[in-house]
């Protein structure tokens, strides 16, 4: 069985696609592209598709990952193009590599998030971020199926900064429907994948708790990257790099 790992996006209004909606759309794309899927055993076989750490509904993403198992060999780039053509614009398959190393899900240790805060002055955002980083703990609450849960969101945040100028998504216009003539602060943060998972809306709750920052309109949130966390630099690296390196250096070579 050949295993292919894919990186895909959720852009523009498609950020409101739920994970279940994406699963249905992706399975239809597999059928349209006539992908020779491998299936699980048992009375109700399912195509071998593994999803890894999907972004929440309403959040854009440039770095979602999944893995599929094929019954027949296919060129990863040709497969990527066929699947991309079979999905709606905004759900874009932008990279495909053959899986040659184990543990993709375990490599997704942290995410880089961008938060666009319309109606918030840059200086106000900087003061709020500084207050958040200065706190030892920042407790927030989240409603779960078992009731209200309180947890610390500060420990998961390894980097947090406010950037100036246009955001990094102008080319794809994640937020093209938003006004451009008002104050706007762009926040960039790196968040570890802990248990419980700390989401961008938890960090926004933390900014409200520590600095009383309350954006007048909902934040436009986009995941820019996810992958292994470099502890020395605090950066998030490419989770597909080990598979590419395995192709570049054939097994058994010096």
Please provide the size of the chain in residues: 254
Measure the CA dihedral 134/192/206/64, to 10°.
140
- In whole angstroms, what is the distance from residue 213 CA to residue 205 CA? 9
Q: What is the pTM of this model?
A: 0.89
Q: Residues 198, 153: contact at Cβ < 8 Å?
A: yes
Q: Residues 146, 173: contact at Cβ < 8 Å?
A: no
72-124 pLDDT per residue, tens: 999 999 999 999 999 999 999 999 999 999 999 999 999 999 999 999 999 99
181-231 pLDDT per residue, tens: 678 999 999 999 998 899 999 999 999 999 999 999 999 999 999 999 998
């Amino acid at each position: 069985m050949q295993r292919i790992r894919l990186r895909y996006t959720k852009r523009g209004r498609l950020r409101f696609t739920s994970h279940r909606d994406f699963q249905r759309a992706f399975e239809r794309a597999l059928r349209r592209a006539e992908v020779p899927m491998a299936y699980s055993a048992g009375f109700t076989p399912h195509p071998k598709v593994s999803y890894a750490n999907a972004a929440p509904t309403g959040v854009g993403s440039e770095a979602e990952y999944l893995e599929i198992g094929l019954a027949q060999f296919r060129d990863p780039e040709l497969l990527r193009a066929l699947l991309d053509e079979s999905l709606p614009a905004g759900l874009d398959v932008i990279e495909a590599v053959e899986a040659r190393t184990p543990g993709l899900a375990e490599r997704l240790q942290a995410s880089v998030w961008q938060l666009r805060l319309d109606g918030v002055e840059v200086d106000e955002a900087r003061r709020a971020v500084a207050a958040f980083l200065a706190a030892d703990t920042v407790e927030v609450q989240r409603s779960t199926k078992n009731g209200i849960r309180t947890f610390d969101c500060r420990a998961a945040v390894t980097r947090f900064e406010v950037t100036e100028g246009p955001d990094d998504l102008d080319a794809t216009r994640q937020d093209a429907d938003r006004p451009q003539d008002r104050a706007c602060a762009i926040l960039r943060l790196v968040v570890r994948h802990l248990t419980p998972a700390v989401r961008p809306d938890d960090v926004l709750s933390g900014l409200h708790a520590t600095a009383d920052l309350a954006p007048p309109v909902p934040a436009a949130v986009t995941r820019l990257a996810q992958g292994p966390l470099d502890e020395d630099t605090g950066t998030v690296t490419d989770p597909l790099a080990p598979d590419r390196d395995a192709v570049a250096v054939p097994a058994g070579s010096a």
